[in-house]
Amino acid sequence: MENFVVSARKYRPATFDSVVGQLSITSTLKNAIKTDHLAQAFLFCGPRGVGKTTCARILAKTINCFNITDNIEACNECESCKSFNEGQSLNVYELDAASNNSVEDIRNLIDQVRFAPQLGSHKVYIIDEVHMLSNQAFNAFLKTLEEPPKHAIFILATTEKHKIIPTILSRCQIFDFNRIQIEDIASHLANIAQKENITAEADALHIIAQKADGALRDALSIFDQIVSFSGNNITYQHVIDNLNILDYDYYFKLTDAIFEHKIGESLLIFNDILNKGFDGHNFINGLSEHFRNLLICQDTATLSLLEVGENIKEKYKQQALKGSTPQFVDFLNTTSKTDTSYKSSKNQRLLVEVMLMQLCSVNPDHEKKKPIIYLPFNNEKPLVRPQIAASPTQKTGETNPALQKNLVNEAQKNSYSNEVEKKIETKNEEPKPTVSLKGFSSVQFSQSISIHKTTTQKKEEEDILIQDSSNRPMESFTEAQFREKWLNYKNQLLENGLSSLASAFENLPEIEGDVILMTVENKALEDDVTDNKTEILDFLRKELRNYNLSLTTKINADLRQKKAYTPMEKFAKMSEKNPHLITLVKTFDMDINYPNK
C-alpha cells in the first residue's frame, strides 16, 4: 500500500510565491535577500497555521542557494537545495522550545553556533514555540542573539508574542503574520482539488475555509477529512453533515418567520435544530452572525465583508431587502443579551425561546417606548398599562392607533410643565431629585396628528387648499349643521388621544360670512390650532360642502375654567392627594397619558 501523505505536508509551500495570504511578509524577505540586508534575528509571530515555520524554512533554503533566481527564489537544483529538500541539510537546525526550554539546551545551542557552515553561506537556527523557553533560558540566550557570528541567523517562531520578554523582542526584526482570508483559503483548496482530480462545490470549500478560522493547515486537514467521507465529489451537504454545521437554510427560514411575526413557526424550527443535536449556544451565535450578514448587505460598500459563497451571498442580498438597518440592530441587541445570559440560565431552552418570541415581536417602526401611566377621568386609581406593540399585520409607515392615544400635545406640555413640576416638588417629601415630566419626546410628538409646521409649510398648504377650492362646491349651511360637524371633529380628536387640542373645541366659534372666528384660552392652544389649521379646514369644507371657509383665532383668557384639562394638570391634582404617585413615575420613568372617555 502506498503511504498516504496529508495535504498539509504534501502541498506545503516550497517558495515565497507559493505562500498563501502573506504577500507583504514574503515581499519584505525577498527584498532583504536581494539587497543583502538580512538581520541576524527574526521573530515570526501570529496564529497557528498561517505559515510562520514554512516561511522560516523557505528563508533558510533561499539564502543558502547557490543559484538564486531573478525572482529571488531557490533554484531547487543546486547541492544545497537538494540536501534541504531531502531533509539532510546541515545548515538548518530546528529546535522545539516546548521540549528544549532549559538553560542547558540553550547552552548546547550556543556551542553549535560557533562552527561555520560546511556548505553554503549561513547556518539558520529555527526555534519554534520560542515563548516556551524559561526566563533563565531567555537570559542565557540574550548575548548570542544580539551578537552572533556572521554566518548565524536566528528565526524565532511563536503564537504568543506577549509571553516573550522585551529584551528578546528588541533584538529581533518582528513580522506579524495575519490570519489567512477565507477567499484565499477557498481558492487554495480549489487548486488542490483540481490537482487531485476532486470535484468540489464552491460553497463547500467556503464552509471549510470558514471552519478553519484563518489557519490554512486546519483547512487542509478538514479537506482531507471530507475527501475520506465523500470520496472525489465534495458537496455542500457532505461538508455540513460531516462537520456538524448548522445549515444556512435554517437561519433563512427562521428569519422569514421572524419578519412575518410567526412565533409558532420559529419555535418549531428551533425544536428541529435541537433534535438534530445542535447546541443552543452555537445556534444563538450563528443567528447573530446571520443578522450581522444581513446588516452588511444593507450597504453595497460593506458587501466585501460578507465572506460566503456566491450562491449564499445572493440569498443574503434578497433577504436583506425585507428588513431595515434599525430592525437588524434591534435583532442583534436581542441575540447579544441572550448570548450573555445563556451560561447562567437554569432553563436555557426557555431562554432561547423567549429570545425568538421577542424577535418575532419587534415593532417594525423601531420606536423605543416607555410605559404609560393612564390617568382616570373620575376618582379611580391610576391604571398602569404596557405600551401596545404594533400589530403583525400593520404595514410599515401606517399610524398605530394605540401609539396615537399615548401622545399629548407638545405645545400644551411646554406651557404648563414648569408650573406642574413646582407643584410636584412642593408636595414631595424628598427634596431631590426633582420629578421630570418631560416624557413626551420630540420623536413621539412628531407622530401625532398635531405636528408643528414652519410658516412656509403652512402657507403652501393653505395656497393648495385655495387653488383646489376654485372648482369645488360652496353651499350654504345652517348653524345646526355646523354644530354637528364641529362636535364630530372634536370627538375624532378625543378618540385619537388628542384631548388638549379637543379642549379648543369646547365652545362654538363665531361665524361671520365664510370666516370662522375661533376663541381659545391661551397661546399654546392658539399655536396648536394654527398648526392643524389645514386639517381642520379640510374636514369642515368637505363635510359642509363649502370650500370658501377660512379660520382665524383669538385669545380670551377668561374662558379658562378651574378644571384640569391636560394630563399634567390631572397628575398634579392627583399627586396632591397621593404623593406616592410621584415616586411611581420617577422609579419606572413613566410618561403621563389617559384613556378615552
- Please report, for residues 63, 382, 384, 428, the alpha-carbon distance to residue 379 in angstroms, rounded to integers and kept in the order given: 95, 9, 15, 21
> Is residue 253 classed as helix, strand or coil in its secondary structure?
helix
Q: Where in the chain is the domain with CATH 1.10.8.60?
A: 182-242
Asked if residue 559 lies in contact with residue 521, where contact means CB atoms within 8 angstroms, the answer is yes
Distance CA 187, CA 191 (A): 6
Q: Where in the chain is the domain with CATH 3.40.50.300?
A: 7-176
> Is residue 578 classed as helix, strand or coil in its secondary structure?
coil
C-alpha cell at 274: 435541537
- Please report, for residues 375, 384, 442, 495, 587, the alpha-carbon distance to residue 595 in angstroms, rounded to integers and kept in the order given: 7, 11, 21, 9, 22
Asked if residue 546 lies in contact with residue 473, where contact means CB atoms within 8 angstroms, the answer is yes
DSSP-assigned letter for residue 234: E
- Please report, for residues 103, 108, 128, 145, 384, the alpha-carbon distance to residue 134 in angstroms, rounded to integers and kept in the order given: 8, 15, 14, 16, 66
Q: Which CATH number fits domain 182-242: 3.40.50.2300, 3.40.190.10, 1.10.8.60, 3.30.565.10?
A: 1.10.8.60
Q: What stretches of 297-347 show up as alpha helix (H) in DSSP?
A: 310-320, 325-341
C-alpha cell at 537: 379646514
pLDDT at 350: 93
pLDDT at 566: 65
DSSP-assigned letter for residue 161: G
- In terms of Cβ atoms closer than 10 Å to its own Cβ (0-12, 13-18, 19+), residue 300 is exposed
* Nearest of 571, 573, 572 to residue 592 by alpha carbon: 571
Distance CA 570, CA 595 (A): 13
pLDDT at 21: 87
* Nearest of 435, 465, 21 to residue 219 by alpha carbon: 21
pLDDT at 436: 39
Distance CA 529, CA 505 (A): 10
- In terms of Cβ atoms closer than 10 Å to its own Cβ (0-12, 13-18, 19+), residue 461 is middle
Q: Which CATH number fits domain 7-176: 3.40.50.300, 3.40.710.10, 3.40.50.880, 3.20.20.105?
A: 3.40.50.300
Distance CA 542, CA 537 (A): 8
C-alpha cell at 270: 428551533
Residue reference for cell 448587505? 297
Average pLDDT, consecutive stretches of 10 residues, N- to C-terminus, the chain (597 residues): 78 89 90 89 91 91 88 87 85 87 88 83 90 90 88 91 90 91 90 90 88 88 89 86 83 91 92 88 91 88 80 86 88 92 91 92 59 46 44 44 41 43 46 40 38 49 49 75 83 79 78 80 78 82 81 72 61 74 77 55
CATH topology for the 248-360 domain? Zinc Finger, Delta Prime; domain 3 (1.20.272)
Q: Where in the chain is the domain with CATH 1.20.272.10?
A: 248-360
Residue reference for cell 413621539? 444
Other Cβ atoms closer than 10 A to 175:
21
Spatial neighbors of 542 by CB under 8 A, at least 6 apart, are none
Distance CA 123, CA 116 (A): 7
- What's the farthest any 2 CA atoms get from each other in the chain? 120
Distance CA 83, CA 91 (A): 10
C-alpha cell at 350: 426557555
DSSP-assigned letter for residue 546: B
pLDDT at 555: 79
Asked if residue 529 lies in contact with residue 515, where contact means CB atoms within 8 angstroms, the answer is no
Residue 373 β-bridge partners: 384, 592
- In terms of Cβ atoms closer than 10 Å to its own Cβ (0-12, 13-18, 19+), residue 299 is exposed
Q: Is the peptide bond before 433 cis (omega within 30 degrees of 0)?
A: yes
Query: What's the predicted TM-score (pTM) here?
Result: 0.55
- In terms of Cβ atoms closer than 10 Å to its own Cβ (0-12, 13-18, 19+), residue 214 is buried
